[in-house]
Structure 1
Amino acid sequence: MRLSAVRLAETKVRLADLMFPSQRVQIHRTRLAFIHLENLLHFAKIDRDGRVDGYVAAYLPDSVALLFFKCGEVATAVAFTEAGRTVVSIASVLRDMEQEMERGELAFCDAPMEQLAWMYHSCASAREPKLVDAQNPETIFPALQHERFSGVLELISNGKVSYFRFDDGRFVNGYFSGKAEQATIAQHVESLFRPGADGARPQVAASVFRPDRDLPEQASPAMIQN
């Protein structure tokens, strides 16, 4: 499958490169055609092991859609597109996935509820893009400290998405895509800005938003009509 060249709104980041943090990968990214969607969506009813918090990332030709799960039940959905980010109906995501079985891809990951809420509100809430100095990208952290910023910084480096929560300019906690298990947070941050083997600097995009612990539910799965 040829990956889409569509880029995330206001950035140079390709949608196809987006990768979100996870506690555990249940299904590594693979073609939608290989996945039995009904079994995936209703696995919590089949096996108690399916009662997890997490998300499905659907990589479609013109978007990346996220389905959020609470205790194994689909709760809500968002989409990243060339035009921006938005909350979308669960039914519309399922319909798009079914229509793009041959071209789409899917990953299914466990994640803590706090992270899921941040992922949701990075699309549902007002975001403020932050300029990243291409020569000194790491200066974004002292700037937030100086501002005494309270909220979440979303940092995307070559598609890898990381979230950093600050309170009055102080780092509190976060969730990080691509962080090596033994790496410190400082080492991970350094890696986000490190040039590649060819000397090219990574494509970095940053924005901030106010977090919310709540992950709204659109409807019970029994009410979802494909």
Structure 2
Amino acid sequence: MKDGYIKHYFSNKTRGINLYSSGLSFRANQIADSYKLKNINFKFSDLVIDCGANYGDLWLYLRDKINKKNYITFEPGINEYRALKKNVQSNFNYNLGLGKVESKTNFYINEKDADSSIIEPIIYDRIHEIQTTTLNNFFIKYNIKSIKLLKLEAEGYEPEILLGSNKILNKIEYIAIDGGYERGKDLEETLSKQLNFLLENDFEIIEINLKWGRALLKSKLFNKASLLKKKK
């Protein structure tokens, strides 16, 4: 897809037409609105982690807001990751899944519907073994101090990813979650479970998008943690 001077690659024709037929600017605003990201004032130095980055559509919105080197993506899909690497270069893209433990696990692929998941869905084309890590371990390994935004979209596996982030939640200022009816064969929703977990861990709801089953939350402890760090 070419829109002005921007090229954006995708690997599934049907999905690409559905996503980008109205242009890349439209798609950028669509994804930002779905996660209510316009509540956030980004600085160029802000760090963003995009879990379930797919083709990197979030970057369409962030490209003029943050340094590309501070855009970190996790995308376990094979073809999605190939497109992602073309769409966002000179940053940090990881062909890994996130979870509550580090392990090898099955990944059920349904690229056309963007329903690939570690939780077995109703429909999938094939199974691919992937490596998972945790955000707790990732923060330690790369000595990350804090992030502005964690965008979390894992087709029903979001609660496990949050459990694997429990030690560093106060280092994340905003978390945008996806929790629609898409977990496993029973199509369970995960929005309520994620909201309860984050509220119990000192986050507050900024805005909820019931149409998409998404929400934006902000940490109450983030500024306090930053102040304590400066005092030390």
How does the TM-score come out when normalised to structure 1?
0.26
Q: Which has the higher strand share?
A: 1
Q: Which has the higher helix share?
A: 2
